[in-house]
A and B are shown apart, each in its own frame.
Chain A
Amino acid sequence: MPINLAKQIFCLHIIVWAIFFRCLGPDIGDLRRTAEGKNGLTPGTTLPAPVMVYPPVGYQTTSNILLLKTNSESNAVSYLFEALSGSTLLTTQTLTAPVVEGLLTIPAASYGTVTIRLSYLNSAGVRSPVISNNITYLDFSAGTLVKTVDFTTKSTCSSCALFFFAPCAPYSYNPLWPPIPPASNCPAFPNDDWTHCQTDSFVAEGNAWICAAAPEASMLANHNVLNTYHPANTGFEYNWLDISMNSSSYQMGHTAAATNEALIISCRMRKAAECGVGGKDTGVSFWYYPYRDANTTDNVQIASRDCSGTWTTLLTARVTAINQLGQAYTNKLNSRIDCLGDYFTAYYKSGSDYVPIAIAKDNIKNTGRTGWGFGPGHPTAAILHRVASFEWRHW
């Protein structure tokens, strides 16, 4: 066979295969894949404020949800949670003993001081107050939900605090949130090392962080707070009032990625007993891999996890910025997640612009993940956060 003819046949073969496997377009039934600038969002434009998409009736009706827990009173018949703005009763929740946990849904609005009040009714028909706390609210649509706790009633609230899950950031991005204590004041974070988040306790008391390398027991003794988070716990130790909250734009510090790694988030966190979709130990994760070449390989992945531990990829994408910025210690990569109803959107920040990475449908309602992660809540306690926006920085 003449060499030219062989070349022609070879080239034709390559062309045919190239057409067949690379130029035939997407396959029916595969996951749609978004990319930078897709989904109607153009890179280089400032991202508008998230549009609140409220959950369907029967699930949650607003975004402002408080988880309230109390200890079990021996002679309690029922518990009553109340939320008041001034003298206006916003919402109540009555729990029949021995149930000690409830959710208060606060209508989305601007409030001044909101008082959370908890009482119980004994078998003799006598109602006794359990605790009274003042919580300052802001309009969630303005980007911030819960800000501070006023401990003016501390005399009746001997042990109470706001707590945050994994508030491990070398500095506070949002001035509304208590700053992370500097290393000199906090032996738990000697080098602003995020790894201590996995072993140390921390709590926000008033507007300051309290942290210690010791277990939470010593914190209780030293700092007179009850609601602390410790990774060794299966959940929070709560005796009185226990509040989790949505957060907006708080950051999590992290060392530069040494290799491909996964960052875990969930828009909805609740521990449920049942297995299955929306059940126990399920969640949605947003992973990125800065050491993958975005020119040839998808380096962002969003996956869901069922309670058996099986991960299912919802979406993958190639994001050059993750590849370029995620590796470098000096190139900080800011990311952002908006949880909007059934969807969450991931962005990275370029200058002051938010560049969309991916949009994925979140069909997971609950998660009971343990280990480290971050999000507007903590991974083990029961809390629902259907609408949230938060942001973190990848060092």
Chain B
Amino acid sequence: MWRRYTRPPKGIPGVYWPEIRVAAGGYYLTKVNDFGAAGALALDFKLHKLLYPLTAFIETTFASRIQNANPDLISPNALLVFQIGIMYSVINGRIFSLALSANGGVIAYRVDENADGLYGIRPVMTIGLPLFWHWRKNGVDFHKFSFFAEPRSTVIMHREAKNLSAWPLLFEIRLGVRYAY
């Protein structure tokens, strides 16, 4: 029976070249009720040939604010997120597969004029649920291109670490493509 991830991805045998994942989408930031556009670039690494559904990745996200709902509040007009994480494909269909990702890292953001400073850095944690659609040629899966949609939720740490209600949430929806060598 056919099953995804029963063989290694393409590439040089024995060497698992990282897959490239590119995405774009939009975000909504709680506490300030802003939304904007985001783009992301990631490298996915297969950890072990016996565990192809498991992926470790590094990811960079850039986002730019479109709407500033309340100019009296500190909100990023641009932000950059560096993260590392893992993704495990829990449902592996011939056409679709569904994965669960968890990652953490650092967000760096630039804010509007503010007496306390214009740049902020905070730890972040993210969970995502990417749904992949695998592109096939003549009905054959090449493990080459996969298109995906991924809702994500990122929690951004606040200086008042104990006051969880002060922590902003960054909701994203991404559409993208993953390419394997």
Residue among B75, B113, B118 making CB contact with A29, cutoff 8 Å = B75
Task: Report A167 CB to chain B, min CB distance, Å.
Answer: 33
Considering the complex of A and B, which 10 residue pairs feature the smallest CB-CB distances, nearest first?
A29-B31, A25-B120, A35-B115, A33-B115, A26-B116, A25-B117, A28-B168, A26-B74, A32-B114, A24-B121
Contact with B along A274-317 (1 / 0, CB 8 A): 00000000000000000000000000000000000000001101
B residues engaging A (CB < 8 A)?
29-32, 71-76, 109, 111-122, 156, 158-160, 166, 168
A32 proximity list for chain B (CB < 8 A): 71-74, 111-114
A361 proximity list for chain B (CB < 8 A): 72
Contact across chains for A24 and B115 when beta carbons are under 8 A apart = no
Contact across chains for B117 and A26 when beta carbons are under 8 A apart = yes
B30 proximity list for chain A (CB < 8 A): 29
Q: Which residues of A36-70 have CB atoms within 8 Å of chain B's CB atoms?
A: 38-39
Contact across chains for A28 and B76 when beta carbons are under 8 A apart = yes
Residue among A26, A35, A314 making CB contact with B120, cutoff 8 Å = A26
Q: CA separation between A21 and B159, bound complex, in Å?
A: 7
Q: CA separation between A32 and B116, bound complex, in Å?
A: 8
Q: CA separation between A121 and B168, bound complex, in Å?
A: 61
How many residues on A have C-beta within 8 angstroms of the other chain's C-beta atoms? 20
Contact across chains for A24 and B159 when beta carbons are under 8 A apart = yes
A31 proximal to B (CB < 8 A): yes
Q: CA separation between A21 and B113, bound complex, in Å?
A: 20
Interface class of chain A by DSSP: loop
Contact across chains for B168 and A29 when beta carbons are under 8 A apart = yes
B74 proximity list for chain A (CB < 8 A): 26-32
A34 proximal to B (CB < 8 A): yes
Q: CA separation between A44 and B32, bound complex, in Å?
A: 34
Q: CA separation between A247 and B156, bound complex, in Å?
A: 47
Q: CA separation between A340 and B109, bound complex, in Å?
A: 31
Contact across chains for A24 and B32 when beta carbons are under 8 A apart = no
What 10 additional pairs, Cβ within 8 angstroms, besides A27-B158, A28-B168? A25-B119, A25-B120, A27-B74, A28-B29, A28-B76, A28-B158, A29-B32, A32-B71, A34-B115, A317-B115
Contact across chains for B166 and A27 when beta carbons are under 8 A apart = yes
A30 proximity list for chain B (CB < 8 A): 73-74
B158 proximity list for chain A (CB < 8 A): 27-29
